[in-house]
Amino acid sequence: MIASVHPLADEWTDEYALFVVEHDWVTYSRPLRHFLSDCRASALRPVILTGPNVTLTPHLYASMTESGAFWAFRDANAVYDARSGRAIAAISDLWTGATGDLHPPLNDEDRLVPALFFDIYAGDHANASTVIGPLADHAVTALGGNALQRYGQDEPLTATWDHAALTALAQRQMPATERILGSSDDNSWAAMTVARTRDGLLERVRGGVSLTRLMDVPSADLRDLAMPAVTDMLSGLVDHFRPRVAMVSAGMLRHPEAGDGYRVGAQPVDAPLAVLIGPRAVRDLNLDFGELSRRHDITVLGPGRVPSALLRLTGRDPLWAQLQAFAFDLEQERLAAALGLELQEWS
């Protein structure tokens, strides 16, 4: 496979494009944003190659995940899969399976900081009174983060957080925006996209809040301590917005001196805490609240004629197993069809 010259990549083949990063604090910079976007448009696998002691910001890591990007690192001796820590003989080993020697453990001195991650779909009217930004504000602050202060489309974020400016930016990019990023002074973050649909707008907000105050709390207690804020945030969506579907999960970020983020090595698996099903999906799924409540922690929110369903994963079974059982009880084909309607509206 012959590598070619590419304006955005350090190496480019008909299968992948590779971007080399030489510094240790790696942000969702403009070159990386365009690199990942170009890979998506070209149907190439994006590969980011770093050193062993880097930290990726949450904005960059989330974008890499959505883009299907692979992460490798190199030291003086070899190149490794950054997630498994195994040496690779060729870049393609990243997706076919690295089987080389394990790199000695790295970043063992890092502390882990608990974090809450959210993913929200909400509808809105497409008219002059619609404002972009309040949904992200609500998600971040209700989960315990400081107010969002800066925004932009790549890092470092340099514009002051302002709903009117955010709305104007989204209007200029319609019918579908690129990702608009937000951040606060306590490492909370949010990423927004907005698309015009057949019956208005659909906004997606993803992000997270670092719970530094809970760093020394035993992991077994984190869910109980976080659940009141999770419940308040999702309930607030019903009271003040038009949610379609929302999910909150718990995870861990590395906490090196540079700032919270992701480091070389296996990442802790996020655990779902709660799911909100908005009125439209409740109607499409024809939910039987009484039957579901006998097996799951279900709370009915909102007006009786247009209710929402809040599922909290509070049992003793593993959290992903609880979520899978709930999906099974909804009949997975109907659930996929209802949620598929939300995704199709982006096209």
Q: Is residue 131 part of a domain?
A: yes
282 vs 334, higher pLDDT: 282
Do 203 and 337 lie in a common domain? yes
Q: Is residue 172 part of a domain?
A: yes
Do 21 and 142 lie in a common domain? no
How confident is the model over 132-159, as pLDDT tens digits?
999 999 999 999 999 999 999 999 999 9
Q: What is the DSSP string of 16-56?
A: EEEEE--SSEE---HHHHHHHHHHHHHT-EEEEEE-TT-EE
Q: Is residue 104 part of a domain?
A: no
Domain boundary among 96, 129, 146: 96
Asked if pLDDT for residue 73 goes beyond 50, the answer is yes
**Distance, CA of 311 to chain centre:** 20
- pTM of this prediction? 0.87
Do 17 and 144 lie in a common domain? no
How confident is the model over 4-43, as pLDDT tens digits?
444 455 778 889 999 999 999 999 999 999 999 999 999 9
DSSP state of 212: G
Whether residue 287 contacts residue 275, with contact meaning beta carbons closer than 8 Å, is answered with no
DSSP state of 214: G
Do 77 and 157 lie in a common domain? no
Q: With H, G, I as helix, E, B as strand and everything else as coil, classify residue 338.
A: helix
Q: Is residue 1 part of a domain?
A: no
Do 174 and 249 lie in a common domain? yes
Asked if pLDDT for residue 326 goes beyond 70, the answer is no
Q: For the chain, what is the domain count?
A: 2
Domain boundary among 35, 63, 96: 96
Do 157 and 273 lie in a common domain? yes
Domain harbouring 92, CATH code: 3.100.10
Average pLDDT over all residues of the chain = 85
Do 128 and 266 lie in a common domain? yes
How confident is the model over 102-137, as pLDDT tens digits?
888 777 677 888 999 999 999 998 888 899 999 999
Q: Is residue 241 part of a domain?
A: yes
Do 90 and 231 lie in a common domain? no
Do 173 and 257 lie in a common domain? yes
Q: Is residue 167 part of a domain?
A: yes
Containing H/E element for 221? helix 219-240
Q: Is residue 15 part of a domain?
A: yes
Per the structure, the complete domain to which residue 24 belongs is given by 11-96
Q: Is residue 318 part of a domain?
A: yes
CA quadruple 261, 267, 271, 272: dihedral, nearest 10: 60
